[in-house]
Amino acid sequence: MNTLFPIFVKIDQVPILLIGGGPVALEKFTALIRNNPAVKLTVVAKEIHAEFRNILAKYPHIEVFERPFEENDLRGKRLLMTATNDPFFNVALESLAKKYTVLINAADKPALCDFYLGSIVQKGDLKIAISTNGKSPTIAKRVKELFQDLLPEEIDETLTLMESLRHQLKGDFEEKVKQLNAHTKILISK
Ligand SMILES: C[C@@]1(CC(=O)O)C2=NC(=C\c3[nH]c(c(CCC(=O)O)c3CC(=O)O)Cc3[nH]c(c(CC(=O)O)c3CCC(=O)O)/C=C3\N/C(=C\2)[C@@H](CCC(=O)O)[C@]3(C)CC(=O)O)/[C@H]1CCC(=O)O
Ligand SMILES: NC(=O)c1ccc[n+]([C@@H]2O[C@H](COP(=O)([O-])OP(=O)(O)OC[C@H]3O[C@@H](n4cnc5c(N)ncnc54)[C@H](O)[C@@H]3O)[C@@H](O)[C@H]2O)c1
């Protein structure tokens, strides 16, 4: 049983610290930016690879420090993502995360994680997060590709129409739910 509880985080108002400047840190950075370019993010790494540095230069609102991590970096942060090549440092970060009551994701180190990243399907405002309970990130990626192909592009238009409908509907809550269900029944009928 997959006991992970999925939530959707407003990353433009929840400060995140990303430690690492290599390809894996760049992957995690890309995942954040793809979901919200306005992410409130600080990147700290002893050495930031050229490719990552060039990309970071396009996001002036992101704080970047090319130096070793300092405990102070955790102050005011709510999420910590780490992608370093130092296993001892990762373990130390796990206890520091507890001290600062920050949730930690250590890339590719499930035992150190409070939360996992999911594979994300996006069609306009529709977003689906996929988890395999850490069993196979590759399958998560394939399922994402499947849904990306399966879902019609028009789904976002439908969402926009539904949004205006739900704002127009009068009556009590129960009545609104009834009407919204009636309007969308066609979506699941053959
Ligand atoms: C979904 C995605 C999100 C993201 O990272 O943004 C993600 N991994 C992705 C890709 C990916 N990662 C790896 C491969 C190589 C092939 C393979 O191993 O399958 C590929 C495939 C590829 O790159 O093609 C290597 C890998 N990953 C983990 C381990 C350690 C272990 O399993 O013990 C190892 C072995 C390292 C080694 O061998 O040294 C662990 C985790 N990876 C997770 C998330 C969490 C569980 C998610 C879930 O529940 O499924 C978890 C537990 C923690 C975390 O990192 O958050 C992203 C999909 C991107 C997309 O959607 O396109
Ligand atoms: N590259 C891959 O495809 C891959 C795949 C699976 C797992 N991994 C694992 O993921 C981790 C990261 O991979 P990578 O390829 O990005 O590594 P990398 O060596 O390219 O980058 C590691 C980064 O961590 C930084 N760092 C290390 N100690 C630090 C500290 N004390 N303070 C601040 N920054 C510090 C380094 O400066 C560097 O920027 C490694 O543990 C690796 O084994 C990598």
pLDDT of 157 over the 70 cut: yes
- Ligand 1 atom nearest to 107, measured from its CA: 55
Quote ipTM for the complex.
0.94
* pTM reported for the whole predicted model: 0.94
Who's near 127: CB < 8 A, 6+ residues apart?
Answer: 8, 35, 120, 121
Distance CA 56, CA 177 (A): 45
**Where are the chain's structural domains?**
16-117, 155-188
Which ligand sits closest to the CA of 26? 2
Mutate to test the pocket of ligand 1, among 5, 116, 122 (most ligand atoms within 8 A of CB): 116
Mutate to test the pocket of ligand 2, among 18, 24, 29, 82 (most ligand atoms within 8 A of CB): 24
For residues 92-115, average pLDDT: 96
Fold of domain 16-117: Rossmann fold (3.40.50)
- The bridge status of strand 103-106 relative to strand 79-82 is parallel
Q: Is 115 in the pocket of ligand 1 (CB under 6 A)?
A: no
Dump pLDDT digits (tens) for 45-65: 999 999 999 999 999 999 999
pLDDT of 106 over the 90 cut: yes
How many helices (H) and strands (E) in the chain? 6, 7
- Which residues' Cβ are closer than 6 Å to ligand 2? 19-25, 44-47, 68-69, 83-86, 89, 107-108
Q: What is the largest CA-CA distance in the chain?
A: 59
